[in-house]
Structure 1
Amino acid sequence: MSVLKAVESTFTNAAIISSITSTIFIILLGFFLRRRGTFGENFGKVLTKVALTVAIPALAFNSFMQPMDGDAFKQGMGVLVWGIVIYILLIFITPFMYQRYVKGQREVLAILTTFGSTTFFGIPIVGAVYGAKGVMYSSIFNIGYRIFLYSYAYIKMSGLKMEAKNIKKMFANPIVIATFLGLFFWLAQHLVPQVTVHAAINGVQTTGMTTVAFYRIDQTALWLYKPLTYLANLSSPLAWLAIGVTLGSISFADAAKDKTPWYYALNKVILVPLLNLVILWLLDITGILPLSFVAVATVVVMMATPTASVASAYAISFDREAVLSSNASFISTICAVVMMPVWIAILQVVSGLGVFH
């Protein structure tokens, strides 16, 4: 397929366009309602808490309620490996992007560049565009992210040794629990007792029969799966509204005065995802780590996210360039909102060209 044909196919795809416009419109709605005063100062934090403790864990768990074949297992493990390797690479690469800055600023900017808002910003977009399989891959990819975010980033930003409370925070997180539980269920589904039930498609029971693991609630317990689905469906609108509310709470003029957050945003939402796309393409054509288009697209979207809230919180808590970190978070969020539709379009063009299988 030619580039022009691939571009045409992308921008005539109603599903892709509607996913992009949904993201933008709901973020703008949150921004408008905050500016108007309909949403209060702390409303964005409330939305964020609901999304992170209820909606996104339900989304992560439900994404694993699907069959596992050899290819799906291979793709999932490939994403897991890359999710660990890329953070090791970024830990070494990102400091070189900020060589002209003093040591303290260089360290903080490098960490903020390495760790993006993959859970809160990335997963809802991946779910909207690439469906349950994309969410599953993003949940697996986030395993490496959380390992390094709660260990390396904490130690580097605090200047202290790893504390037990941080390890507890890492594993007691509802999203982490839902991810590991879902991953275990997905991997073990052929090793547990099987039951034969009427097959269900998108939560609707059919007359056909299927044999699945007894805990595949999408087939065996629709009464439990459907409530989780409703909660999971809240993740995207809640996250996008909260992003809009956050943007509406901060003075753009104050944050935009400094050139450093703009340079950081360029690295975070353009160079880092581009680096991932190029390396994954090289690994694919050499046969070292062949990943499907959905897996690659999921990784790129996850890496094109703005500053991770946890990384920003570290900077504020330990007084490590707190103002710079806050401005970088704000500017990178605006840039990510603008660039995300561009990245989705680029990825669809790449798909149309058949670069990844």
Structure 2
Amino acid sequence: MNIAKAINVTFSNPAIMSSITSTIFIILLGFYLRKRNIFTEQFGKILSKVVLSVALPALAFNSFMQPINNETFTQGINVLIWGIVIYIILIFTTPISYAKYPQDKRDVLAILTTFGSTTFFGIPIVGAVFGAKGIMYSSIFNIGYRIFLYSYAYIKMSGLKMKASNIKKMFVNPVVIATFLGLVLWLAQNYMPQISVRQAVNGVINPEAPMIKVAFYRIDQTAIWLYKPMQYLANLASPLAWLSIGSTLGSTSFKQAASNKTSWYYSFNKVILVPLINLALLLILNVTNILPISYVALGTIIIMMATPTAAVVSSYAISFDREAVLSSDASFVSTILAVVAMPFWIAFLGVFSQSGIFG
């Protein structure tokens, strides 16, 4: 199948198109509501706190409430490995793109390029496009991301040694707790006491469904009364995150941010170049069978890497007075570019779905 036909097939897929349009329309709604002052400047921050402390943890935990088999286990391990390796690669290579800049600005731009908004921006889109399996892979992928974000990025931006308080942030973050708890339960389920139940799909039990055996803590099958509230909270993640993104964009001066040429150069590197590097390396590793991954795992990783500036890194820049204005402008421009580019990335990934290169 040629590229044009593959892209046409992707854009003709109602599920994919509805995911793309949902993202764009709800972000635009948040932007409009902020411009009309229906959303205050603080409201977007409140929404983001709800997403990060409640909705995303529920989304991450629920994504692990599914069976484990050799394929998903292998893919999960490969995603975990790549999620650590790619950040090591980016830490050493991203400064090369900014060699013409002074040392301080080069360091900041390299950190901004390495760490994107994978949790707040990436996971909701992954969930909309690839469902629970994509969310599970994205949660596993983020393990390496958080290790380096709260260690290397903090040390580099602050110029200080690692603080105990920052290590605490790494492990007591609600999303991190939900991810590790879900991951452990998912890996251990075949070794835990089993219960026979009628199979439920999306929290609904069909009286004629076959009986299956699952670990006693698989709440999606054994405790629907607990799973459904978690699912309602998880379903809030995408719309609230997108409204918050739109509200944040509506609070920023586009004219000021757009006049900064460095922000556009950075945004191209972050939203276009970094995902392309990932794609090229993963294609080589897959073809050589060194690190084979599935199409869903590939799509998850590319979407996670095509995200704009991470809010944590922007906070570092402001807190430690490291190119704070540049960081804010870069965050704004990269978010705009990511929103525009994401549909094309999803369509481009459809080429690999049709090609069969990735299983």
Shorter-chain TM-score bucket reads over 0.9
Report the TM-score when normalising by structure 2: 0.99
- Rounded Cα–Cα distance in structure 2 between residues aligned with 1:5 and 1:330: 34
Q: Residues 214-257 of structure 1: CA distance to partner in whole angstroms, max 9, x if unpaired?
A: 00000000000000000000000000000000000001001111
CA distance in 1, matches of 2:177, 2:130: 23
- 2:130 matched to 1:130? yes
1:4 Cα deviation from its structure 2 partner: 3.0
Aligned to 2:32: 32
Asked whether the 8 Å contact 1:3–1:353 carries over to 2, the reply is no
Identity, % of aligned positions: 70
Deviation at 1:323, TM superposition (A): 0.5
1:104: which partner in 2?
104
Q: CA deviation at 1:3?
A: 2.4
Is 2:275 the partner of 1:273? Answer: yes
**What is the Cα deviation at residue 198 of structure 1?**
1.2
Task: Tell me the distance in 1 between the aligned counterparts of 2:87 and 2:301.
Answer: 12
Task: Report the count of equivalent residues.
Answer: 357
Query: Match for residue 251 of structure 1?
Result: 253
1:70 — aligned with what?
70
Alpha-carbon distance in 1 for matches of 2:313, 2:5: 41
| Paired residues for 1:175-214 under 5 Å | 175-206=175-206, 207=208, 208-214=210-216
> In structure 1, what is the Cα distance between the partners aligned to 2:195 and 2:352?
41
- Counterpart CA distance in 1 for 2:6 and 2:257 is 38
Tell me the equivalent position of 1:240.
Answer: 242
Note the residue ranges of structure 2 that are not aligned, 5 or more in a row.
none
Following TM superposition, by how much is the alpha carbon of 1:168 offset from its aligned partner in structure 2, in angstroms? 0.4
- For 2:336 and 2:8, the matched residues in 1 are separated by 27
Secondary structure of the 1:190 match is helix
Q: CA deviation at 1:352?
A: 1.2
The CA distance in 1 between the partners of 2:358 and 2:292, in whole Å, is: 8
Q: Provide the rounded CA distance (Å) in 2 between the counterparts of 1:181 and 1:8.
A: 40
Partner of 2:88: 88
Q: CA deviation at 1:145?
A: 0.1
Question: Retained in 2: the 8 A contact 1:306–1:332?
Answer: yes
Task: Give the counterpart letter for 2:57 in structure 1.
Answer: P
Distance between the aligned counterparts of 1:78 and 1:338, measured in 2? 29
Q: CA RMSD in A?
A: 0.6
Q: Which residue is equivalent to 2:44?
A: 44
Match of 2:2 in 1: 2
| 3-state secondary structure, aligned to 2:190 | coil
What is the rounded CA distance, in whole Å, between the counterparts of 2:84 and 2:64 in structure 1? Answer: 20
Please state whether the residue corresponding to 2:212 is helix, strand or coil: strand
- What's the offset of the Cα at 1:353? 1.8
Provide structure 1 residue ranges, at least 5 long, that are not aligned to the other structure: none
Letter in 2 for 1:175: V
- Shift of the alpha carbon at 1:329? 0.6
